């Protein structure tokens, strides 16, 4: 068979990514050869995929997570178009893993036909190779100002004749109005593909919700396939850092007698914020994202994460007083960790004629290095060791590289080719590698060292925390939620037979002149 389904949403962060992953996990556990797909993702959270030619390429982090739900290695075709915002007005375009252009809203329409053609070809290849492809939309299908050139929501559904379910986040409020409005704003041909709804993040008595579900079916002629409950344990692999609350996950009680408090600066253009999720899986480690200088003063460990706009975010650190708070933290002898763009900010100077085009700007001066940006983007998976022999795996996605460094500076990591990577100077640590803290032994060593530097003598790492196992538990929980709370028989009929015939048109739809 060559079945398919599109998971659309009433808004961004309605639950499309997790529902897609949950459906993928459910099908995978049934023995179905299933793959995920998102025609276009806009996110600075990306993962590195090694293509068939051996080169590294990027896809959205959510699609890498969905691939894991399917028991698959990530594939560039799972997310053929990735837009990485560098400012409010411009985004880098990554096409089948390779950065090809930088666009604005005004220039996007000229590139869109090429992107759509690539996206449609990738989906066709996947449908030939897999029994089922579960597609994820982007934003909302009712963004009617963008419908004419859409190839990720109803444009994709129309092209591939995909039955579509709409997921809404009831925790935001107004879920019934947003579901009805989503359908009613679409034209008849689009509406004919909207098969029904899923409600996400419900807390309370389902009986109190039932009258609303009944009325929604009455006014739209479409069923609700299920109601997914709020699940506190679903926080790994967030599509966007804004999906986090102030504190990541549910930190377990400390293994020792003290907690370790970690403050992660929520940069305006934060990228790959998922790096710090691995720290948050450790018992006794409280990880919070913040923009408050006072919270850095109270933290044991401060993290400067990755950034899609290193120079602009460095200027923001100075404008907000956070740069002074970081310097004071280091002056007190407490540990600081810089990751990728955050690492680049720690040096003496940044020479950037590529990303910000601001030329040479001073860094924070906390490491004796200088960073130079290269038009060629480094995108690769990395393997090495830390602290002598601790195995570490990660990946790199950056334009900046260390162009000057004090030769006596100690590297944080050593790659398998023997080259040093990153730096350690006193309590200051930095690396270009993303994902390194998913390596359990390295993470435990680093947190132990951070606790020592912070004076948390009562902190102890748990001896057997496994990040890979935590991710698998999260994916299995998604599959469990789909099996237990959705009408999987009805979903299977949609996947197997396509859009139900005779779905009613809900006025008003678009104006006749369209």
Q: Where are the alpha helices (DSSP H) in 332-439?
A: 341-345
Which residue is it, tokens 């004629």? 353
Cβ contact 41:122 at 8 Å: no
- C-alpha–C-alpha distance, residues 91 and 106, integer Å: 12
Residue 255 burial (10 A CB sphere; 0-12, 13-18, 19+) = middle
Residue 235: C-alpha distances to residues 11, 126, 252, 439 (Å)? 18, 28, 14, 19
Cβ contact 461:281 at 8 Å: no
CB neighbours of 167 closer than 8 A, spacing ≥ 6? 7, 8, 9, 10, 14, 15, 16, 19, 197, 198, 199, 200
3-state secondary structure (DSSP) of residue 500: coil
- C-alpha–C-alpha distance, residues 297 and 334, integer Å: 10
- C-alpha–C-alpha distance, residues 155 and 141, integer Å: 9
Residue tagged active-site, from 329, 399, 432, 434: 434
Q: Tell me which residue of 149, 146, 213, 222 sits closest to 184, measured CA to CA.
A: 222
Cβ contact 77:37 at 8 Å: yes
Query: What 8-state DSSP symbol labels residue 410?
Result: B
Q: Tell me which residue of 331, 322, 318, 283 sits closest to 303, measured CA to CA.
A: 322
Query: What 8-state DSSP symbol labels residue 482?
Result: H
Backbone angles phi, psi at 430, to 5 degrees: -155, 150
Active site residue 159: no
Token reading at 49: 């995929």
Q: Say whether the peptide bond before residue 508 is cis (omega within 30 degrees of 0).
A: yes
Token reading at 187: 């034209």
Token reading at 284: 């006794």
- C-alpha–C-alpha distance, residues 463 and 443, integer Å: 11
Cβ contact 3:44 at 8 Å: no
Cβ contact 37:78 at 8 Å: yes
Backbone angles phi, psi at 144, to 5 degrees: -65, -20
- C-alpha–C-alpha distance, residues 335 and 446, integer Å: 10
Token reading at 58: 């990027």
Residue tagged active-site, from 24, 329, 340, 429: 340
Cβ contact 162:193 at 8 Å: yes
3-state secondary structure (DSSP) of residue 342: helix
Active site residue 33: no
Instruction: Report the phi/psi class of residue 214: left, alpha or beta, with left for phi > 0 and alpha for psi in -120 to 50.
Output: alpha
Active site residues: 340, 434
């Amino acid at each position: 068979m060559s079945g398919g389904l599109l998971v659309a949403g009433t808004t961004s962060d309605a639950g499309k990514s997790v529902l897609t992953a949950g459906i993928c996990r459910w099908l995978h556990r049934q023995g179905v050869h299933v793959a995920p797909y998102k025609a276009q993702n806009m996110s600075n959270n990306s993962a590195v995929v090694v293509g068939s030619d051996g080169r590294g390429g990027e896809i959205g982090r959510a699609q890498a997570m969905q691939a894991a739900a399917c028991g698959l290695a990530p594939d560039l075709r799972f997310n053929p178009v990735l837009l990485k915002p560098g400012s409010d007005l411009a985004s880098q375009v990554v096409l089948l893993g390779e950065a090809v252009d930088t666009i604005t809203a005004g220039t996007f329409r000229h590139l869109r036909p090429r992107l759509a053609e690539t996206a449609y070809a990738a989906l066709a290849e996947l449908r030939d190779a897999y029994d089922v492809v579960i597609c994820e939309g982007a934003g909302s299908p009712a963004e009617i100002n963008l419908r004419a050139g859409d190839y990720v929501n109803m444009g994709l559904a129309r092209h591939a004749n995909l039955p579509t379910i709409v997921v809404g986040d009831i925790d935001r409020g107004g879920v019934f109005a947003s579901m009805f409005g989503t359908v009613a704003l679409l034209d008849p041909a689009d509406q004919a593909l909207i098969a029904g709804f899923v409600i996400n993040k419900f807390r309370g008595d389902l009986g109190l919700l039932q009258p609303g579900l009944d009325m929604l079916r009455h006014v739209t002629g479409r069923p609700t396939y299920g109601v997914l409950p709020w699940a506190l344990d679903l926080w790994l692999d967030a599509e966007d850092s804004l999906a986090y609350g102030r504190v990541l996950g549910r930190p377990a009680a400390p293994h020792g007698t003290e907690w370790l408090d970690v403050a992660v600066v929520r940069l305006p253009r934060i990228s790959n914020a998922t790096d710090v999720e691995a720290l948050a899986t450790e018992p006794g480690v409280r990880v919070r994202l913040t923009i408050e200088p006072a919270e850095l003063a109270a933290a044991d460990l401060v993290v400067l994460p990755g950034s899609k706009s290193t120079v602009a975010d460095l200027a923001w650190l100075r404008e907000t007083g956070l740069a002074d708070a970081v310097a004071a933290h280091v002056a007190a002898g407490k540990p600081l960790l810089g990751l990728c763009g955050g690492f680049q900010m720690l040096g003496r100077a940044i020479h950037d004629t590529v990303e910000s085009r601001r030329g040479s700007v001073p860094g924070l001066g906390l490491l004796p290095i200088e960073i130079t940006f290269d038009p060629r983007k480094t995108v690769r998976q990395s393997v090495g060791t830390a602290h002598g022999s601790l195995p570490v795996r990660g990946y790199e996605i950056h334009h900046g590289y260390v162009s000057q460094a004090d030769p006596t500076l100690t590297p944080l990591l050593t790659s398998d080719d023997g080259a040093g990577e990153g730096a350690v100077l006193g309590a200051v640590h930095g690396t270009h590698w993303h994902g390194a803290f998913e390596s359990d032994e390295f993470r435990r060593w680093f947190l132990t060292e951070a606790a020592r530097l912070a004076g948390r003598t009562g902190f102890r790492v748990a001896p057997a925390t496994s990040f890979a196992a935590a991710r698998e538990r999260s994916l299995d929980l998604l599959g469990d939620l789909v099996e237990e709370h959705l009408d999987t028989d009805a979903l299977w009929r949609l996947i197997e037979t396509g859009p139900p015939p005779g779905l009613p048109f809900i006025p008003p739809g678009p104006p006749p002149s369209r």
